[in-house]
Structure 1
Amino acid sequence: MRASRAIGPQLSVGGIKKLKIRKTLNSKLSTLNSEHISGAEGIYEKSEIQKVCKKYIKRAFTHPRGEPDEIAITIEKIRQKPRTISLLSVATLRCLSPEEARKIITRRLSDIGISHKAVNNALNVLRSEKTMRGASLIFAKSGARVEPDKERGIRVSRMGIEKSTEKNLSEKLSRAKINTTTVKEALVLASKAASWPDVIAEVCISDDPDYTTGYIASKEFGYMRIPNIKREKEMHGGRVFFIRETADIAGLISYLERKPAIII
């Protein structure tokens, strides 16, 4: 099994140093085969690194997909000033089954111009037994998959949230009884992705067997949580970005993977 997690201290307006940390977890099934476990990352102040590393290591050893055989943590200074972006709005939809979830996803995405073919192709990717390490890119009209490496996918990286914004978010999520690390990390990632002009929407299903709430996200309707998007104990999952047919794919990948962004 394999997982990667990244963290990095932010560069504030006042000029605090930025660092990035990446942690990789591998649990080898054989000398020729390994399986992705999980990934997580963030942007943090230098003074937070020790605490954050301990948190990620603990998460690695208690992950529901299994215990890794190998954990690697990378700390990297971020030399670019982070782009500042806004947080998507949050809502939880009513959904009682995976079948209902499929209808909700299709309807909501169709409303913003994504074709049924593109939605069906995305859901086939997400329900495949072979879990990708990163996200898939699918054209919103033709439904074609266009990420260069279909084994690796696209890994959204170098994102964080400003402290006061995170505090306000935690208070809001607490009132809705969903103030978890899982929700906050997914929301930050979705907000970064949605800020790029060529990204129309995202759909995500967690590959954790005990987490059955997924989401769709877009600048058009925000971040919408969908309970019961899959059944308990199912291991499939992943992330798909629906993009414009005219998208600058190289520019999009560069932004998602390498350009730092901070939610304000």
Structure 2
Amino acid sequence: MKELVSIRMRASKEVAHNKIKSAQDNNIHISGAEGLYKLEDINKVVKDYIERALNHSRGKPDRIVITIENIAEKPLYIRALPVTTLRIKSIFDAEIAVKKLLLFHGISLEAISTAFEILRKENMRGASLISFSNSKRLEYDKQRGIRVSRLGISKEAKRKLSQQLSKFNINNDTVKEALILASKVASSGKIIAEVCISDDPDYTTGYVASSKLGYLRIPNIKKKNSRSGGRVFFVKESENIEKIISYLEKTPVIINKISHCRGTLNLNEIIGIIDK
């Protein structure tokens, strides 16, 4: 196998703020992307990432950081989660659906309430790790959160995924990159479920994901122009938290197989599928 590199991009903009808690709080996130690639792909990927950063709807960044890191460890190969879109029209109905789906996974109301408190805030830098039973936050650095990293998709799998997503008019980088991340998280075998709402003010679709559910897109999860958002992982407190975080942040994982796309379904249809 050819040598792999991890390529990461983060673009940010410094803004004036009256109540700055730290230097990082004075920067807003504009754009970000990452993936595992072969050496010969570096030039093209870096160019694409910079173009993305410079042409984002959130504005022009004044800082773009590109990090390229050699990956010596042999990657794990996994199958992508199946993709489904929930048929939903309002923010209220979307939130009710998320709560029902999390309850279906055995997650407590207390933990769900804490998750929504996190998801309604702005500028959460990484994911939060929450005990499914009592809402205790388990990540070591609550300001930084957990950064899921070292993840990618093979060119053939990406081609097949694009073909499937195109059938439902959702073949874009946002969906593909979220699916790759959610698939790595689920492959850990330790995360009961994940819920994510993008902090992009122009993107109002979030998702709930798990090995049982797959990757479920949830439209209308927040108001347009809202910068709130975040990512929450639910886990048993008895699990080895250090090992879970190490897997999510450091273990290289590549998708080389694709699951089918289920299209758009209502909540009862989705629960019927995963309850079989």
Same structural fold, with TM-score higher than 0.5 when normalized by the shorter chain: yes
Aligned ranges 1:148-227 → 2 under 5 Å: 148-227=140-219
Other-structure match for 2:107: 114
Task: Give the secondary-structure state (helix, strand or coil) at the position aligned to 2:166.
Answer: helix
Distance 1:248 1:217 in 2: 21
d(CA) in 2 for partners of 1:135 and 1:65?
21
SS of the aligned residue for 1:80 comes to: coil
Q: Give, in whole Å, the separation in 1 of the partners of 2:219 and 2:40.
A: 37
Instruction: Using structure 2 for the length normalisation, give the TM-score.
Output: 0.87
Secondary structure at 1:210's aligned position in 2? coil
Contact 1:82 1:261 in 2 (8 A): yes
1:231 & 1:83 partners in 2: Cα distance? 38
Higher relative contact order, chain-length normalized (CA < 8 Å, sep 6+): 2
Q: Which runs of 5+ in 2 are unaligned?
A: 17-21, 257-276
Q: In the aligned structure 1, how far is the partner of 2:144 from the partner of 2:190?
A: 21
Q: Runs of at least 4 residues of structure 1 off by over 4 A?
A: none
Q: Per-residue CA shift, 1:101-146, capped at 9, x if unaligned? A: 1110111111111111111110110001x32111010111111111
Contact 2:8/2:32 (<8 A) preserved: no
Identity of aligned residues (%): 52
2:64 aligned residue:
71
Q: For the Cα contact (< 8 Å) 1:19–1:46, is it kept in 2?
A: yes
CA distance in 1, matches of 2:243, 2:5: 23
**Residue 47 (str. 1) matches residue 72 (str. 2):** no
Counterpart check, 1:141 vs 2:127? no
> After alignment, is 114-123 or 177-186 more displaced?
114-123
Residues matched between the structures, number: 249
Task: Please state how far the C-alpha of 1:169 moved relative to its aligned partner.
Answer: 0.8
Could you tell me which residue of structure 2 aligns to residue 11 of structure 1? Answer: none
Local SS of the residue matching 1:101 = helix
Counterpart AA for 2:2? I
Offset at 1:154?
0.4
Letter in 2 for 1:233: N
What's the TM-score, normalizing by structure 1? 0.91
1:25 pairs with one of 3, 7, 11: 11
SS of the aligned residue for 1:19 comes to: strand
Give 1:36 shift: 2.9
CA distance in 2, matches of 1:167, 1:22: 22
Q: CA RMSD in A?
A: 1.3
The corresponding residue for 1:230 is 222
Query: Which residues of structure 1 form unaligned runs of 5+?
Result: 1-14
User: Residues 22-63 of structure 1: CA distance to partner in whole angstroms, max 9, x if unpaired?
Assistant: 223232225942223332211111111111111111111122
Corresponding letter in the other structure for 2:160: N
